[in-house]
Structure 1
Amino acid sequence: MSDASDRSVVPAGDVGPKIAKANVAQRLRALRDGLGLSVAAVAKDMDWSVSKLTRIEKGEVSIQPLEVRALLGLYSISDEHVVAELSRLARTSRSRQWYSRHRLTGAFADFVAYENEAAEIQVWQLLFVPGLLQTREYSRAITARTLRTDPNDEQVKARVDLRVDRQQALFERQRGENPPHITAVIDESVLRRPTGGREVMARQLDHLLTLAEDPDRFSLGVTPLELEHHSGMGGSFELLKFSGNTHGDVMFVEAAAGLDFLLSDPETIGRHNALFKDLLDYGRTGDRALQMIRAIRDEMRAG
């Protein structure tokens, strides 16, 4: 049987593959839970493994449209609107994206996929210029330092290539309708640290200033060294927000030794949204931030 709640499906045309997969997973699990069916019972009736259904409901793997229709048939969902929309979402979730060629894994793979569909990106960075705003030469220098290896190392090249691809994907989306907006707050120490040498850093600051010339797409903030009310000392993070009600906010935390975290629980998200607002309220934004970046850039070249 179906009811009005079955109509709460996100139109497939409004989302990309990652959000589509997450919505299919959430909806299928809700339908099963609503019927009081166990994972084991449904897997048996579908002639699937328990692992397959569990991974589908967690959004770890995609599901074929024909499988969606079969599963909805098992759940006695006869509303063709719901069946069609979930089938289209399943089809969308299986479309191949540019990041597939990088063979990413774990939380970082999910982060890149979510970032590629975010309508708004808010970044707080305490240690280096945010990846989406880096020049290639700065990216090579900071990645080599992080990995403690030569800038020409293949692992460095692979990470830099991914970062550049993330940037290109963002710029391409920004040239379309409803361009995503990125707000980046950067600690002053990051701007003053001559990563890669003073001229490399000066060109990186030039790049930030160039991006800031398009305020509809980029907003920059700086937390001065003398700032007393500093809420960001706990570490860097990136908040991803999505259009409409397609998905809740997601937060990415890049940790040491590849132990990255992707978080979405409301309490954590709410706390970091408030923290990011603090950084904007107490830091320098708008023209004041750009004046500071220009002054540091000039000092970098004069030194």
Structure 2
Amino acid sequence: MRPSQWQIFIKLCTQLSSRQRLAGIDLLRNNGAVQDAATALIEQAAQAQSRCPVCRSDHVHRHGQAHGLQRYRCVPCGKTFNALTGTPLAHLRYKTRWLAYADCLLNSYSVRKAAQLLDSHRNTSFRWRHRFLALAKTDRPRCLHGIAEADEMYVLESQKGSRHMTRPARRRGGRARQRGISNQQVCILVVRDRTGQTLDFVTGKGPLSKAKRHACLPPVIDRDILLVTDGHPAYPVFAREAGILHAAVNLRAGIRVRGTVHVQNVSAYHRRLRGWLSAFHGVATRYLPNYLGWRWILDARRILSPESLLRATFGVFPHLTVT
């Protein structure tokens, strides 16, 4: 490039928008290979379900390209779409940074740290977090077998980020004003079998009700399962009504293990979950299911690479399916 052309180029650069500057930085950093890798993963995931997102017809043909992705046209309904249409990542920009952001999720980085590493805004980082987890969190076992342990844990109800709060605001990391279990806390029911397969349910504020227990547990446990719990009196009644075997340990009396009867696995999962959540300095209750799914992704270790997490974002999970 001639010096005169360089001077003209520099003057034009001052007129670029912030978004155009970021795109230029990605180009100067030679991220073409990264873009190709992300685009290839997106197209590969789309081939597994190449149907029209509107009428679900598989009679489609290529219809040009846009934003680096192949577009398709549905013959029966005439709608056009690409690999991202109808997915949680639709209408998101900066595909070159998606693999890097997936790596941030696997490392449990905060919103601000991920935004700093990707040179993006914190709002973008927060939006991507929940878009990436929308389908990835659904990679769960369908049913638990053998011996399963069940127990509840409670976290402080949070309206973090809400524009219209239903109660007075409190300091970050505050405490409930009432002692014990109250409507200021949210119940998380965790069920975990001895193979490590885990299911969790956000059952709402206050103590776990009988209706919630019956709604959550019977669909996900075998009829011949042995359900092990603590000494809460509601579980023997539930087991009798559900027609399953039940055993309990009296933790208040100091009895933690009776042969194979214990709740140490689910208690250890509670400790890991609570310690992991504490790093985020309070999680909004409305986003709690996403964080529980995120924690399961890390604990199950079925998704170990950014590429696998990006595929899971489209609902394409590892071939080893948990049943």
TM-score, normalised on structure 2?
0.27
Structure holding more strand per residue: 2
Q: Which has the higher helix share?
A: 1
Structure whose CA Rg is larger = 2
